[in-house]
Amino acid sequence: MADAGSVGAKGFSDAEMAAIRKDFPVLNKTGRGGNPIVYLDSSATSQKPSCVIQAETDFYRDSNGAVHRNTHLLGDEATEAYEDARATVAAFVGGETDEVVWTKNATEAINLVAAAMGNASDGLGGGEAERFKVGPGDRIVVTRAEHHANLVPWQQLAKRAGAELAWLDLTEDGRIDLDTLDRVTDNTKVVAFTHASNVTGAVTPVKPIVEKAKEVGALTVLDTCQSSAHLPIDVVDLGVDFAVFSGHKMLGPTGIGALWGRKELLEAMPPVLTGGSMVTDVSMDSATFQAPPLKFEAGSQPIAQAVGWAMALDYLSELGMDRVAAHEKDITKHLVEGLKDMEGVRILGPTDLEDRLGVVAFEVEGVHPHDVGQVLDFNDVAVRVGHHCAIPLHKFFGVRSSSRASVGVTTTHEEVDQFLEGLTQVQKFFGGGK
């Protein structure tokens, strides 16, 4: 994966940006201050272009049916749309179609792998699942930079299996410290880590971690939630064993995510959810299961959501992910430099632009993050406040919570200026800064 800014990719012209922004109806919404909302909360959830909204509507209007279980026209059309969407996701991330498992979100995708390892440790899956077994004396490795969704499931697995939980630590500015890779020891079974922090925006150097994991035979699980809508992603090139994705952070609908896994691993991994859709035969005392990915997709499927997500990825692909990355890098520079120039404002994370995305958490001296967010909201600027589901990372910086501005494909320089002006209003109101 290359940094788009480093290979000469260009962002979007003013005319192109105007056209892109017209695709997002919510950008016309008036905020509490009487002006269009400046949306700087893409890290929490992305806004949706009209084509995505329309794709979901069209599916329900024209092709709604149950998948993989009918012979009638609507069932066939629904199945085709569902599987075409799976192929679109696979192509977008550089994998094969049968390596993509639908989930309700990225959190579920991580839990699926962790729970499957727990099932294997309990003896399910037979000899084929040997690689997934974890027990006393084994180690699970995460990082201090993780979202709770990529920390708590591994805590639970460690407790269930009697294994040890360890973590890679951070440099002073919040980047993953590769000098702590020695914590990936010979008894390590899995290394789970983020591709980009949802607090600091720091992009993880994936390949050194993967190489270390491979040395000891550990599986790798990559959380791409903060990177996959902002950078080109190729799971094969990254070398990981599993990667998780979140539809609603990639211009797509809520209620859908995906697990990508190497085919041979998905074949060996025991299922977690069981029931309809994932079986080939059932007797009163046993069952046999479908091949992946259907083996992991019990019950009713998120069909319309898959269709909408596929449309979102088509939209991003048409824009060009290298150009999206270049555009956002330019906006991020403006945002970071503007915050650095403000007295009484501290950025949590790297203040340089190398290997970082437009996710910028910050604290305003003497002002609670919720007050920051409320005043900005009155100035028609939407940011995230709280601990961002990353309490250990906030503790690393010596705070409980922060405010966070995050950019997306629709963000403009003018919106960043409005945010910075709103932040001066915060300081004036509460007496912070100059």
Strand partners, 281: 288
Peptide bond into 36 cis (omega under 30): no
Lateral strand order in the sheet of 345-348: 345-348, 359-364, 402-406, 384-386
Contacts 24+ apart (CB under 8 A), 18-27: 20/319, 20/409, 20/410, 21/410, 21/412, 23/49, 23/50, 23/51, 23/315, 24/48, 24/49, 24/50, 24/410, 25/50, 25/53, 27/410
Distances (CA, A) of 412 to 85, 136, 331: 30, 52, 7
Q: What is the pLDDT of residues 42-60, one digit of tens each?
A: 999 999 999 999 999 999 9
| Helix 413-430 and helix 369-378, axial crossing angle in degrees, nearest 10 | 120
pLDDT at 431: 78
pTM of the entire structure?
0.96
Of residues 69, 94, 90, 141, the one with CA closest to residue 293: 90
> Is residue 381 left, alpha or beta, with left meaning phi > 0 and alpha meaning psi from -120 to 50?
beta
The domain made up of 54-317 is a member of CATH 3.40.640.10:
yes
CB atoms within 10 A of CB 285: 5
Average pLDDT over residues 85-103: 98
Distance (Å, rounded) from C-alpha 185 to C-alpha 432?
A: 47
What confidence tier does 3 reach under pLDDT thresholds 50, 70, 90? very low
Average pLDDT over residues 245-267: 98
Please state the domain extents for the chain.
4-47+320-430, 54-317
Q: Record the tokens describing residue 313, joined without a space.
A: 């990825």
CB atoms within 10 A of CB 3: 18
Among 2-11, 160-169, 263-272, 393-402, the least confident range = 2-11
pLDDT at 432: 56
What confidence tier does 7 reach under pLDDT thresholds 50, 70, 90? very low
Class of domain 4-47+320-430: alpha beta
Residues 6+ apart with CB under 8 A from 50: 23, 24, 25
What confidence tier does 1 reach under pLDDT thresholds 50, 70, 90? very low
Distance (Å, rounded) from C-alpha 111 to C-alpha 341?
A: 41
Of residues 209, 181, 179, the one with CA closest to residue 195: 209
Q: What is the pLDDT of residues 123-135, one digit of tens each?
A: 999 999 999 999 9
Three-state secondary-structure class, residue 129: helix
One-letter amino acid of 32: R
Alpha helices, H only, 6-165: 14-22, 50-62, 73-93, 106-121, 152-161
Residues 6+ apart with CB under 8 A from 107: 149, 257
Q: Do domains 4-47+320-430 and 54-317 have the same CATH topology?
A: no
Strand partners, 39: 382
Distance (Å, rounded) from C-alpha 40 to C-alpha 359?
A: 9
Distance (Å, rounded) from C-alpha 374 to C-alpha 432?
A: 16
Active site residues: 389
pLDDT at 69: 85
Whether 395 shows a pLDDT value over 80: the answer reads yes
Contact 408, 332 (CB under 8 A): no
- Residue predicted with more confidence, 88 or 6: 88
Whether 2 shows a pLDDT value over 60: the answer reads no
Q: What is the pLDDT of residues 70-80, one digit of tens each?
A: 889 999 999 99
Q: What is the pLDDT of residues 296-353, one digit of tens each?
A: 999 999 999 999 999 999 999 999 999 999 999 999 999 999 999 999 999 999 999 9
pLDDT at 9: 85
**Mean pLDDT, the chain, whole residue set:** 96
Classify residue 21 by burial, with Cβ atoms within 10 Å: 0-12, 13-18, 19+: middle
